[in-house]
Amino acid sequence: MHTKGQLEWRIRSIVCVLGLLILVSVDGADVPMTILSSAVAIGAVCLDGSAPAYHFSPGSGSGVNNWLVHMEGGGWCRNTQECLARRDTYRGSSKHMPPLSFSGILGNQQSSNPDFYNWNRIKIRYCDGSSFTGDVDTVDPNTNLHYRGNRIWLAIIQDLLAKGMNKAQNALLSGCSAGGLASILHCDKFRSLLPATAKVKCLSDAGYFIDAKDVSGGQYIRSFYQDVITTHGSAKNLPSSCTSRLPSGLCFFPQYVVPQMRTPLFILNAAYDSWQIRNILAPNNADPEKTWSECKLAIKKCTSAQLNTVQDFRSEFLNAIPRMGSTSSTGMFIDSCNAHCQSGSVDTWFSADSNSIRKTPIGKAVGDWYYDREVVQLIDCPYPCNPTCKIVKDD
């Protein structure tokens, strides 16, 4: 038997637990996916010819006229063989895309995403393999591969404009990894499509891939990106401010694009970006003896000589980003974590123990920069100085 006081306490406890579960489920619930079937008529399709897709969580209250458009990441395919390998997966077809939930910068809880929680929040699915830059009209009937990334991007943005983004007061174009690169490459175009009165900015998370030599002295990443551009017919869709000055192959590298950008940009990146260490600094073809295998998995497994090389790569990365103080409109959060993509999870975005620089978490840094509350240009000390770093898996 329970006394009346004990029963009341148990009821309050159950209500409290249910309340917490509701909060968790709301922030982590699957967000409905919109299949943009109308885009097929204009050839804006995934690698396999299926319609593109995005997830949309409508804004509310003070955020009803604010729009956050985030682009999914997932690498690139540089030739027919690689694109065929993606074609019948969620990286190349909306027919195979699994459900997803929103968290981090896309989260809907004020406590963990105070500046963007009630905005219209969109995640564009990535199914073209070119950072949304490709446009080849011809389709080889033997492969049925469609290289139409740029058409996908334009079709989805036009659909969002028709759904109310044409009345935006505030807007942020963001993305992770290949999507983070896309947020740079499409930033000024995005600005031009929105109302002149709107505050429009862009955020690149783990998308600042640098033009650097690998451990063998070769330029693997240059040839890789050139192959992507050639396969997808991307050159004509890269920023003309870059292609008018440099070969198109260099205009996939943010360091050659960002100086001419007109729209404010926030660069969120790890100086020891795990994808870049594995694929730019020490790609497999530059390390045939696999001496970098352990180091690429975790910096703490590097030899002293390898760590020196990794520290040199950090220096090269810092030299490739805009100089601190050159413009207050450019925001930066360059931590010393061995991570890749840090805005998509509440654990790294805005929590009590999330990745921080000088006690400033990423979510606060981005919000302060977006709303012009202060100039945000944070660059971390060298590895291994930051105890807040978490391991973040590639998008």
Q: Which residues are catalytic?
A: 177, 273, 340
Q: Please give the order of strands across the beta sheet that includes 120-124.
A: 33-35, 53-57, 120-124, 66-71, 170-176, 199-205, 265-270, 331-335, 377-379
Instruction: Tell me the two tokens of residue 141.
Output: 């009937």
What DSSP string describes 105-138?
GG---TTT-TTTTTSEEEEE---SSSSS------
For residue 87, give every residue at least 6 positions away whose Cβ sits within 8 Å of its Cβ, in sequence order, or none: 47, 48, 93, 143, 144, 145
Q: In the numeric block, which tokens belong to residue 98? A: 């699994």
Q: How far apart are CA 172 and CA 203, in angstroms?
A: 7
Backbone angles phi, psi at 32, to 5 degrees: -55, 145
Question: What three-state secondary structure class fits 170?
Answer: strand
Question: Cβ atoms within 10 A of the Cβ of 289, count?
Answer: 6
Distances (CA, A) of 80 to 11, 175, 227, 283, 284: 61, 25, 10, 20, 20
